[in-house]
Structure 1
Amino acid sequence: MSDDAQSLLEQRIRDKAYLLWEEAGCPEGDDHRFWYEARAEVEREEAALDKALASTFPSSDPVSLTSLETGTGSSN
C-alpha cells in the first residue's frame, strides 16, 4: 500500500473513531476501543467494496471484435 493510500486509510479510521466516540457521548478514556471498532468497520467496508468491484471487472478473456468485423450483431 502506498503512503498516500495508507494516510487515507488512517484518516478514514480516525474520522470513524471520532464519530463513534461522539455517538457514545464523548466519554473520557477508551480511545483504543473506539479506534479498534472504527478500524474493524472500515476494514469491513473495504472488503465489501473489493467484493463489489471484483464482480465488475471483465473476465480474463479478451474482448471479441468478431461481431464488429463481420457486421453481425445489433444494427445502428
Structure 2
Amino acid sequence: MSDLVIVARFASRPEATVAQSLLRSEGIETLMPEFNALLADYDPSMMEHGWRLLAHKDDAEEAQAVLRDAQMEI
C-alpha cells in the first residue's frame, strides 16, 4: 500500500466512479478505498475528505494529466 498515492478527490461517489472508469480505459488501475466501506452504513462524518482515488506512484502524474484533460473537455 505504500506505493499508492492519492491522485484525486471527489465530492461524490458518481464523480469518483466516472473518473476511475476513465483512468481504467487509459490503462491506469486505481483504488477507491471508500467505495464499499460506506455502502452498508453511511456516516456523513466519514466523508470529510471526500472520495479518494489512489494509484501507483509511478502512474500518478499520468493519472492526474488524464483527469485534468478530461475536465478541460467539458
- Tell whether the structures are fold-level matches, with TM greater than 0.5: no
Which is helix-richer, 1 or 2?
A: 1
* Larger Rg over CA atoms: 1
* Structure in which a larger fraction of residues adopt strand: 2
Q: Whose relative contact order is higher, 1 or 2, with alpha carbons under 8 Å and at least 6 apart?
A: 2
When normalised by structure 1's length, the TM-score is: 0.30
